[in-house]
């Protein structure tokens, strides 16, 4: 997957002069998948520009780290490796102490916990590194797992994005089906039935899309998971369904739906905008748009119900 190049002027230090050599090194670096050592980057650069020296590449790497274009990681090999950070979301690594191979994963739960801890300590983080060291399954048992390499990264990302969207759609379908049975107001019941039907239709579309994606790679199902977003947006709807089971009035049911859709929209939009152009990014942003449309519908219906109920609605809201 070609990595879109950033605005090089944005990455230059304040007051720094433009450097053709540095721009060439940065361009070569951003084309690489995964992690490269300084010496590996020297070899890659010299294939295109033999006149660029080793010291220039080393200085440029340090500059890229400082400018936020690269991350510096240590996999226990006795040397640093570097990976592009531009439009490459913060992620974490599993590192095998035997073969020194690493695998990446992204977790909104880990990110949220780190942000919560930093905020509680009034700490302003600039970089965070999470590495889990141990022994991979292949070194431990001899069992080979289909790897995630440059050719399959986009497929795995799309697979995980679709899995998340499908789980959220199922959870939303359950929520709106329950809400329709518990709503007394005919208009509100109609809205919930409409949303349940849309969730059912979207679910079928996503499942078909998942099948088509799986057909592109016979080993796709067995490749390691990249996105670990436990619960994520689907957890919002599950919690909302639990509130419905405890008993709520029509206004409260709409407000719960608004909260779930708003949280789901923010989640998928936030992460979708952070990813590089890919099918996975498209899944996230398309789903965010769908959740936004559902959110707008629920807000309109809530306001309409509040206006119909008049003073009773304000009294009910005051008692919540």
What integer pLDDT is reported at residue 263 of this predicted model?
95
Q: How far apart are CA 22 and CA 274, in angstroms?
A: 26
Q: How far apart are CA 46 and CA 39, in angstroms?
A: 11
258: closest CA among 289, 207, 304, 298?
Answer: 298
What integer pLDDT is reported at residue 317 of this predicted model?
52
Largest CA distance in the chain: 79
Q: Which domains does the chain have, with CATH numbers?
A: 1-87 (1.10.10.10), 89-145 (3.30.1490.190), 153-318 (1.20.1260.10)
What integer pLDDT is reported at residue 242 of this predicted model?
94
What integer pLDDT is reported at residue 294 of this predicted model?
97
The series of mean pLDDT values per 10 residues for the chain, 320 residues long, is: 47 56 88 84 92 91 82 77 71 86 84 90 84 91 75 84 94 96 92 97 96 92 86 86 92 96 94 83 94 97 90 54
118 Cβ contact list (under 8 Å, min separation 6): 124, 125
93: closest CA among 175, 152, 148, 51?
Answer: 148
What integer pLDDT is reported at residue 319 of this predicted model?
52
CA distances from 133 to 96, 101, 130, 144 (A): 6, 10, 10, 19
Residue 63 tokens, joined = 């500059």
Enter the DSSP assignment of 221. G
What integer pLDDT is reported at residue 195 of this predicted model?
97
What integer pLDDT is reported at residue 105 of this predicted model?
87
Order of strands, sheet of 131-134, starting from the edge strand that comes earlier in the sequence: 102-105, 92-96, 131-134
């Amino acid at each position: 997957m070609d990595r879109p190049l950033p605005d090089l002027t944005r990455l230059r230090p304040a007051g720094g002069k433009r450097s053709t050599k540095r721009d060439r090194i940065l361009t070569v670096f951003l084309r690489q998948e995964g992690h490269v050592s300084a010496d590996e980057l020297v070899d890659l650069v010299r294939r295109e520009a033999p006149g660029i020296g080793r010291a220039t590449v080393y200085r440029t790497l340090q500059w890229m780290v400082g400018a936020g274009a690269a991350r510096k990681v240590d996999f226990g090999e006795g040397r640093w490796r570097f990976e592009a950070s531009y439009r490459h979301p913060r992620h974490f690594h599993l590192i095998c102490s035997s073969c020194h191979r690493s695998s990446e994963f992204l977790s909104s739960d880990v990110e949220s916990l780190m942000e919560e801890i930093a905020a509680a300590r009034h700490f302003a983080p600039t970089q965070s590194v999470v590495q889990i060291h141990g022994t991979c399954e292949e070194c431990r048992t001899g069992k080979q797992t289909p790897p995630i390499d440059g050719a399959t990264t986009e497929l795995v990302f799309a697979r995980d994005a679709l899995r998340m969207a499908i789980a959220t759609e199922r959870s939303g379908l359950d929520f709106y089906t329950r809400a329709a049975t518990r709503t007394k107001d005919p208009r509100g019941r109609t809205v919930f039935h409409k949303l349940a039907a849309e969730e059912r239709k979207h679910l079928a579309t996503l499942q078909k899309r998942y099948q088509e994606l799986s057909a592109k790679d016979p080993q796709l199902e067995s490749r390691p998971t990249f996105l670990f977003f436990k619960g994520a947006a689907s957890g919002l709807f599950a919690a909302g369904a639990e509130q419905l089971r405890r008993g709520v009035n029509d206004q409260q049911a709409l407000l719960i739906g608004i909260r779930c859709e708003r949280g789901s929209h923010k989640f998928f939009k936030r992460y979708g905008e952070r990813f590089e152009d890919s099918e996975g990014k498209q899944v996230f942003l398309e789903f965010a748009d769908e959740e936004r449309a559902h959110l707008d519908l629920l807000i309109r219906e809530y306001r309409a119900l509040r206006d119909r109920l008049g003073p009773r609605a304000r009294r009910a809201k005051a008692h919540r």
